Amino acid sequence: MAAVTYLEAIRQAIWEEMERDSRVFVLGEDVAIYGGAFKVTEGFIHKFGMERVVDTPISEMAIASAAYGASLTGLRPVAEFQFMDFISSAHSQIVQILAKSNWRWGAPAPLVLRGPSGGGVSGGPFHSQNPEMFYVHTPGLKVIAPATARDAKGLMKSAIRDNNPVLFFEHKFLYRRVKEELPQEDYTIEIGKARVHREGRDLSVITYGAMLYTAQEAADLLAKEDIQLEIIDLRTLLPLDREAIRRTTEKTNRVLVLHEDTKTGGIAGEIAAIINEEAFDALDAPIARIAALDAPVPFSPPLEKAFLPQVGDVVREARRLVKY
């Protein structure tokens, strides 16, 4: 069995769900004939027809609200934002209409809004952002950000089958860089559950998305000094897996939260608050945060490297915390 990329895993998930359930359809800019800017829906129109693979005008507001409207008729739209940076153009529709729908008027909205987020590809300030926290702050939504091909496929299937609006933040840096063999059978991964990516005893690194691999590299380096990192991949940001956060804190007694999103208002602050509420007595060191600079994402490689958290940052902070 051949290993498949993160991108292929997402393609397979949507394809298989469309095969399994005729209520599922995709819409977005350039998704049909062109197959999407990143080719996630390449070939879909030939299999499923033009009614179920819908090219839209460049209108993020219309994409979000039309997906919602279709969901009101019982369909399960999967809408693509060409880049998750453009989700801000549909912010009002998402937080005002979709998120409040079931609570306000008993209208469930089973839909997925998905697209590539994240930096590391010199995409500049409008093709590299991590806008997930705007939505983590919005009750009524679910927010997913997978780091592995296996999780991407299983979580995408769960997102499509979920009865609520789900925002699915793919990481474009990972699209063709990570590969793994996937289970042959139909499988899903439960939304709202974190995963222990690597067991360790000295320090927990809680992270998600592409930073999982930064944490992993740091863990490999630190293992040579006999510092054993435990790595928690959150996978879902809303709802957060409070239990997994508590469990790892009680196990290693030291926590470092690592994310690619900017620091102020990033999820590290929320995780620190959860640890404060759930496992304060277990801490042997202050909670550390490593995140992107509080600045827009720069374009030029040396600037972007300075902006994004690096392996060296994790190694340095880990050494400090372990000695604390």
Partner 1 sequence: MPTRKSESSPSAPEVKQPHTNGSKAANAPAVKRPQPPIGKNPWGIPDWRLEQPPFHIESDWSGEEYRYKVVGDTNTPVPPLRPSKYLSKEQTLEIYRYMIINRQMEAALESMYKQSKVIGGLYLSLGQEATSVASAYALDRDDWLGPMIRNQGSMVVRGYEPSSAMMQYMAKGTSPTKGRDSGSHYGDPKKLNVIAPISHLGDSIGVLSGVALGARLQGREIACLAYIGDGGQSTGPTYEGFNFAAVRKLGVVLVVEHNSWAYSTPVELQFACKDLADRAIGYGVPGVIVDGTDANQVYDATHEAVERAHRGEGASIIEAKLMRMKGHAMHDAAVYVPSAVKEYWQRRDPIVRMEQYLKETGWMTEAQMKEVHAEVQRYMDQEREQAEAAPMPSPEEAGTDVYFDNGVDIPVKYGEVRVKQSNVGRKLSESSAPGHYK
- Active-site position among 46, 91, 127, 197: 127
Among 129, 164, 236, 253, binds partner 1 (CB under 8 A): 164
Which residue in 25, 60, 163 sits closest to 102, CA to CA?
163
User: DSSP letter at 13?
Assistant: H
Q: Indicate if 171 belongs to the active site.
A: no
The nearest distance, CB 140 to partner 1, in angstroms, is 5
Residue 201 DSSP SS3:
coil
- In the bound complex, what is the minimum distance in angstroms from residue 11's beta carbon to partner 1? 7
Q: Which residue's entry shows tokens 């030029």? A: 300
Q: Considering only residues 17, 32, 56, 156, which one is a binding residue for partner 1 as defined by CB under 8 A?
A: 56
DSSP 3-state assignment of 77?
A: strand
- Enumerate residues 136-155 that contact partner 1 by CB under 8 A: 139-140, 142
Binding-site residue total for partner 1 (CB under 8 A)?
A: 72
Contacts of 202 by beta carbon, 8 Å cutoff, 6+ apart: 227, 228, 229, 230, 252, 254, 322
Following CA atoms 294, 295, 296, 299 in sequence, which dihedral angle do they give, to the nearest 10 degrees? -120
> Which of 8, 80, 170, 233 is in the footprint of partner 1 by CB under 8 A?
8
Angle, alpha carbons 315-321-324 (nearest 5°):
140
**Binding to partner 1 in span 12-41, by CB under 8 A:** 12, 15, 22-23, 25, 35, 37-40
The answer to whether 196 contacts partner 1 (rule: CB under 8 A) is no
CB of 61 to partner 1, least distance (A): 4
Q: Binder to partner 1 among 81, 169, 175, 213 (CB under 8 A)?
A: 175
Asked if residue 293 binds partner 1 (CB under 8 A), the reply is no
Shorter beta-carbon distance to partner 1: residue 178 or 287: 178
CA distances (Å), 51 to each of 15, 55, 94, 198, in order? 15, 10, 24, 44
Q: Does residue number 47 form part of the binding site for partner 1 (CB under 8 A)?
A: yes
Active site residues: 127
